[in-house]
Amino acid sequence: MTAIGEKGVQDPSVQIHAAEETPRGYGSMKRKEDARFVRGRGQYVDDVVLPGMLHGAVLRSPLAHARITSIDTSAAEAHPKVHAVITGATLEGLGLAWMPTLSQDTQAVLATDKVRFQGQEVAFVVADDRYAARDALALIDVEYEPLEPVIDAKRALEAGTPVIRTDKEGKTDNHIFDWESGDRSATDAVFAEAEAAEDQLVVVQDMIYPRVHPAPLETCGAIADMDPVTGKLTLWTTTQAPHAHRTLYALVAGLPEHKIRIISPDIGGGFGNKVGIYPGYVCAVVASIVTGVPVKWMEDRSENLMSTSFARDYHMRGEVAVTRDGRIRGVRVHVLADHGAFNATAQPTAFPAGFFGVFTGSYDLEAAHCAVTGVYTNKASGGVAYACSFRITEAVYLIERMVDVVAHDLGMDPAELRMRNLLRPEQFPYQSKTGWEYDSGDYPHTLQVALDKAGYQELRAEQADRRRRFADAQRSGAGPAGTAGEPVKLMGIGLSFFTEAVGAGPRRSMDILGLGMADGAELRVHPTGKAVLRVSCQSQGQGHETTFAQIVAQELGLSPDDIDVVHGDTDQTPFGLGTYGSRSTPVSGAATAMVARKVRERAKIVAAAMMEVSADDLEWDDGRWQVAGDPDASRSMADIAMAAHSNLELPEGVEGHLDATCVYNPPNLTYPCGAYICVVDVDPGTGAVDVRRFVAVDDCGMRINPMIVEGQVHGGLADGVGMALMQCIAFDLDGNCLGGSMMDYLLPTSLECPSWELGETVTPSPHHPIGAKGVGESATVGSPPAVVNAVIDALAPYDVRHADMPLTPAAVWCAAQGHPLRPDLGIT
Amino acid sequence: MQVPAQFEYHKATSVDDAIALLTRHGPESFVVAGGHSLLPMMKLRLAEPETLIDINGLDELATVTVESDHVRIGAMVRHSALLSSPVIAEHFPIFTDAERLIADPIVRNRGTIGGSLCQADPSEDLSAAFSAMRATAVIRGADGEREVPVREFHRGPYETAVAHEELLVAVRVPIRPASGSAYAKLERRAGDWAVASAGAMLRVDAGTVAEVGIGLSAVGAAHFVAPEAEEYLRGGPASDEAFVEAGRISAAHCSPSADQRGPVDYKRHLAGELTTRVLRRAARRSRGEEA
């Protein structure tokens, strides 16, 4: 489709953004990758078709907990289009029936002894096409002996409860781990004082952050191609962490690592759903080895929702010690963490509850302590997914909900209470009571910007007026619907102030299965001044091909259009742990800046040789190396690149060409923050919630491409509205998943989202090379409590103190009636 | 990707041809209209028809026509056509209200009126709206057409008066001068099935309720109607107090079941609340106070 017009060659891959819109470094520019996405030219795993490829399908358990007494595959094997049927017994022979999880547990690839959740993988059929593969699933005869399922996490540890993990020798209960953070005795002392003192009180609230699912629009899948001649496995797969996957396949399957190539092409959303290794991937690999040809497996929507990595499922009790004039002294938390049938959460090794330790939030406390207990239940495994920043989502929800409960009990304005307790700018770098070093921020300023943007005082005045009218309507006996026909809606205003901790992480303290969380970058400038950057992280829609090109452009004085970013192929890119936990810009972005600076230093030597001056006399000025004080004597990066590849004589010990590599080991996490204000209208007659406004002021330090940042925030806010108002994976007591389709698991649409009102403050990270902080998950982390706080605020006339997400119309109405719903179990 | 089991496909060239195909292929042959219920069920393998008979080419069933004292709505009229029809907006705002709330524009562009009624999902919207309007279903078989009141059309969840070798061809809705109608639905999210919904038709004569129809969906109301509340209103004052009481009666007589959309007491409350709201709106419309 390349056309030659008046302006020369018009390449359809670049014409989507006019050249004059492209900044030389930072600034808003349209995303380079969107040229292919908006034309339907993206290449996703399911778009890959290999010669002779077969198709796999997974047979799943209809029961949540049952013993397998027999599996008869003979009818399926007799199907004319079926090439192989793989069961747990097949895999046992290969030593692959069980695989290690990212949390030092084991997970069944295909069930051998028991099934442990509805939707668990039982058998894998390989056939000519995906239709035949599905047809053959119905021909497999599995006999189950049903066992009592463990569904209610609160009862998982009770005596007499069935033991789920009977595969683990000596296991007599459903306990996984106990983990704590903070100073227990100092915290208990603060609480004892608060309980005894007249002028203080202790506020307690139980809350559930229910199980949700990231639900990326592209489901998970893989194509395994084991070349029987070279012995090399090429695996096209939906992964956010291709290099980590390669190492894990090497360790699990015993394949030599240099004989494994992981290709993660365009990924249609990940949100943490595509961090782990799923049984289907392993089955595809085994199937390719067994059949000698490539095998594709793509799960369907229900399989994705029912069997892959969920998120949250934290049953929390928050306690706050506070003075009656609103000074928060201490926070104490107990968590029961439902991890499902296998402990397969993805987080750094030393953090079984992820970064939940950041539950102290944005406040200056005297003491804090949390204790987390993980339990097995008969549900799908996972737990760290859906843009949660390793459980900071749960932590922020807890503290921000607790602050509003405190404001409720004290009769204080929640904005004033927050302002009184926020960390002050002079306290940074701040050592939190649970051991985290917050790098930078000006929290009162950020909150004030949000309050001003929202018109907070005017909103409160409108709310007071609305409440008067509501009370009048109630008194007149007309009920909430009013006589005029239209109900008086209740208005609610909700705040949240979040601190995130993203960019894992320092190698000394953070690893996943022993792999330190550092990331590499390689940069090569071609002779004509065009460049290629290779990074270890893997975009799932974040815009890395644009943002990282802009970082290089800023450092080298090039146009982002002249820089190609290569990612998602382990044969083409340096090692690193991938993209999740908002870590790409904090880690790979830093690696990119550092590698570009290495190249710039090399270019300086070349430029000095070109101009026959000492390198010490050169200064970097507006994208060129220039002789200090002589603007006429300078060389651009393109000039230098050609010279570096030419026969120019370079100083002793300086090699030619213009390239560099780098590994970035972050000295600390980055700590973005934000102040969010949500305004809702609640129909008291139906419980329906309408999000009227949402103001989001984010501080993510330096913004490389503000438009991309805003897009990330928009997406996260929509996620937050979804979690707060409609998304939930509940289970009935038989263990049936009640969120197994898009009809039952509701994603928000534009009709549920207001026009987002964004703002920003900028406090650069002092330790990041370009002052940037991660932002991908900020809005997902920060927005749910703002929405929930707004709904609870609206229900003040009913004196509601708390109600659990999702605040569906039924949940809101039931809370107002004084009998709130429990979201994790089926409604009866 | 979810994939259906194997099936045979025939495209009907006329209503008679469709009936002949249904006869020839027997009970495991299914009619496909818009396909927005059947195709997902096939992909989930909840439905595995041996034969699909496609009636999408039957344009003679896709018209809305005024016939003296009623409007005839063809079974293949798409939701989007009903929504944009000026005839419907003029005479039956209840359908315009309902169509705005049915699924989303993409589904409405394809889904049909007849398909919705014949699917007979207990949460389906138009069943309640047509019941409120006391409409009549026109069903054709090999022996010709017969008419069935919509209030007798539904025989239970997913069951209707249409026999296997028959086709619903149209619905006739009486035009009632000086009447008003309205529909309201509560959903958890745009495009979701109703948590509860209600439709009302009112004709008021000198302050007295002369004719009334109340339809309910998703709350276990038999035949999608609230006859006790209608009985209470008929011949009485068209007052706000009466509408509130009619809501209370609707709530008392429906029998919702609990699911993730809500517990029984909530759905019962909603049935009443929405009944009252649509009666108010229908009354305002009958008085010409609201479009």
More confident residue, A21 or A154: A154
**Around A504, how many Cα atoms within 13 Å sit in the side-chain half-sphere?**
27
| Best CA proximity match to B252, nearest among B224, B229, B285 | B229
pLDDT over 70 (residue A374): yes
Looking at every residue in chain B, the average pLDDT score rounds to: 97
By three-state DSSP, how is residue A214 classified? Answer: coil
- How far, in whole angstroms, is CA A713 from its chain's centroid? 13
Element (H, E) at A375: strand A367-375
Q: Give the integer Cα–Cα distance in Å for A46 and A42.
A: 11
CB-CB under 8 Å, A821 with B186: no
Q: Is A516 exposed, middle or buried (0-12, 13-18, 19+ CB in 10 A)?
A: middle
Among partner residues A481, A483, A688, which is closest to B186 by beta-carbon distance?
A: A688
> Cα-flanking dihedrals φ and ψ of residue A498, to 5°?
-115, 150
Q: Which amino acid is at A528?
A: T
Report pLDDT for A486.
66
Q: A666 in the Ramachandran plot: left (φ > 0), alpha (ψ -120 to 50) or beta?
A: beta
Which pair of structure tokens corresponds to residue B98?
Answer: 């309902």
Q: Residues A374-390, buried b or exposed e (16+ Cβ, 10 A)?
A: bbbbbbbbbbbbbbbbb
Answer for the pair A804, A210: CB distance below 8 angstroms, yes or no: yes
Among partner residues A481, A725, A746, which is closest to B273 by beta-carbon distance?
A: A481
| Best CA proximity match to A267, nearest among A542, A82, A645, A597 | A542
Q: What's the CATH fold of domain B59-174? A: 3.30.465
Report pLDDT for A642.
97
Residue A424: how many other CB atoms lie within 10 Å: 12
Answer for the pair A739, A677: CB distance below 8 angstroms, yes or no: no
Among partner residues B2, B45, B280, which is closest to A485 by beta-carbon distance?
A: B280
pLDDT over 60 (residue A14): no
Q: Give the integer Cα–Cα distance in Å for A21 and B15.
A: 58
Helix, strand, coil % (nearest 5) of chain A? 30, 25, 45
What residues pair up with B78 in beta bridges, in sequence order? B112
Q: Give the integer Cα–Cα distance in Å for A24 and A686.
A: 53
Report pLDDT for A654.
87
What DSSP character marks residue A585? I
pLDDT over 70 (residue A482): no
- Spell out which chain B residues touch chain A, with contact meaning CB-CB distance below 8 angstroms: 1-3, 5-6, 44-45, 104, 186, 188-193, 195, 240, 244, 258-263, 266, 269-270, 273-274, 276-277, 280-281, 284
Mean pLDDT of A226-230: 95
Report pLDDT for B136.
98
Looking at every residue in chain A, the average pLDDT score rounds to: 95
What CATH number was assigned to the domain covering residues B179-286?
3.30.390.50
Q: What are the angstrom distances between the C-alpha of A672 and each of A331, A443, A471, A481, A669?
A: 22, 10, 41, 43, 10
By three-state DSSP, how is residue A292 classified? Answer: coil
Residue A461: how many other CB atoms lie within 10 Å: 11
Nearest-CA distance B224 → chain A (Å):
20
Partners of A688 on chain B (C-beta within 8 Å) are: 186
> Cα-flanking dihedrals φ and ψ of residue A257, to 5°?
-65, -30
What residues pair up with A153 in beta bridges, in sequence order? none
Interface mutation target, options B260, B274, B275, B277, chain A, most CBs of A under 10 Å: B260
CB-CB under 8 Å, A744 with B260: yes
* Lowest mean per-residue pLDDT among A21-30, A170-179, A278-287, A791-800: A21-30
pLDDT 10s digits, A655-702 = 899 999 999 999 999 999 999 999 999 999 999 999 999 999 999 999
Mean pLDDT of A711-720: 97
Angle between helices A637-644 and A590-611 (to 10 degrees): 70
Partners of B3 on chain A (C-beta within 8 Å) are: 130-131, 134
Helix, strand, coil % (nearest 5) of chain B? 40, 25, 35
pLDDT over 80 (residue B154): yes
- Spell out which chain A residues touch chain B, with contact meaning CB-CB distance below 8 angstroms: 46, 130-131, 134-135, 138, 298, 300-302, 479, 481, 483, 485, 685-688, 725-726, 728, 730, 738, 741, 743-744, 746, 748-749, 751-752, 808-810, 813-814, 821, 826-828
pLDDT 10s digits, A808-825 = 999 999 999 999 999 999
Q: Is domain B8-54 given the CATH code 3.30.43.10 in the classification?
A: yes
Angle at B13 between CA B12 and CA B16, to 5 degrees: 80
Interface mutation target, options A746, A812, A821, chain B, most CBs of B under 10 Å: A746
Q: Is A403 exposed, middle or buried (0-12, 13-18, 19+ CB in 10 A)?
A: buried
pTM of this prediction? Answer: 0.96
Partners of B261 on chain A (C-beta within 8 Å) are: 808, 810, 827
Partners of B190 on chain A (C-beta within 8 Å) are: 749, 751-752
Report pLDDT for B281.
97
Peptide bond into A256 cis (omega under 30): no
Report pLDDT for A478.
56
Partners of B259 on chain A (C-beta within 8 Å) are: 826-827
Provide the terminal-to-terminal Cα distance of chain B, rounded to the nearest Å. 45
Q: Give the integer Cα–Cα distance in Å for A397 and A399.
A: 6
Residue B236: how many other CB atoms lie within 10 Å: 15
Q: Give the integer Cα–Cα distance in Å for B251 and B270.
A: 8
Reported in sequence order, the residue ranges of A628-672 that DSSP labels E, i.e. its strands, are: 630-636, 659-664
By three-state DSSP, how is residue B259 classified? Answer: strand
pLDDT over 80 (residue A600): yes
Q: Give the integer Cα–Cα distance in Å for A727 and B215.
A: 30
**Percentage of chain A exceeding pLDDT 90:** 93
Torsion sign, CA atoms A58, A59, A64, A70: negative
Report pLDDT for A475.
84
- Which residues have a Cβ under 8 Å from the Cβ of B93 and sit 6 or more positions away? B180, B181, B182, B285, B291
Answer for the pair A702, A790: CB distance below 8 angstroms, yes or no: no
pLDDT interval class at A479 (50, 70, 90): low
| Best CA proximity match to A391, nearest among A332, A339, A443 | A339
Element (H, E) at A467: helix A456-475
Peptide bond into A505 cis (omega under 30): yes
Report pLDDT for A166.
97
pLDDT interval class at A652 (50, 70, 90): confident
Answer for the pair A122, A115: CB distance below 8 angstroms, yes or no: yes
Q: Which amino acid is at B181?
A: S
pLDDT 10s digits, A601-636 = 999 999 999 999 999 999 999 899 999 999 899 999
What residues pair up with A635 in beta bridges, in sequence order? A625
pLDDT over 70 (residue A523): yes
Domain residue spans of chain B: 8-54, 59-174, 179-286
Mean pLDDT of A1-17: 42
pLDDT over 90 (residue B1): no
Which pair of structure tokens corresponds to residue A498?
Answer: 């979040």
Answer for the pair A501, A669: CB distance below 8 angstroms, yes or no: yes
Among partner residues A686, A743, A751, which is closest to B273 by beta-carbon distance?
A: A686
pLDDT over 70 (residue A462): yes
CB-CB under 8 Å, B190 with A752: yes
Q: Which amino acid is at A36?
A: R
pLDDT over 70 (residue B117): yes
Reported in sequence order, the residue ranges of A16-87 that DSSP labels E, i.e. its strands, are: 54-60, 66-72, 82-87
- How far, in whole angstroms, is CA A534 from its chain's centroid? 23
Alpha helices in A645-758 (DSSP H): 706-725
> Cα-flanking dihedrals φ and ψ of residue B76, to 5°?
-95, 10
By three-state DSSP, how is residue B201 classified? Answer: strand
Nearest-CA distance B153 → chain A (Å):
27
| Unique residue bearing structure tokens 């018009």 | A10
**Around B138, how many Cα atoms within 13 Å sit in the side-chain half-sphere?**
16
Q: Give the integer Cα–Cα distance in Å for A494 and A403.
A: 11
| Unique residue bearing structure tokens 């259906």 | B4
pLDDT 10s digits, A555-571 = 999 999 999 999 999 99
Mean pLDDT of A246-263: 94
Answer for the pair A380, A341: CB distance below 8 angstroms, yes or no: yes
A-chain residue closest to B197, CA distance: A686
What residues pair up with A605 in beta bridges, in sequence order? none
Q: How many residues does chain A have?
A: 828
Q: Give the integer Cα–Cα distance in Å for A329 and A326.
A: 9
Partners of A131 on chain B (C-beta within 8 Å) are: 3, 6
> Cα-flanking dihedrals φ and ψ of residue B260, to 5°?
-70, -5
| Best CA proximity match to B129, nearest among B39, B189, B194 | B194
> Cα-flanking dihedrals φ and ψ of residue B270, to 5°?
-65, -40
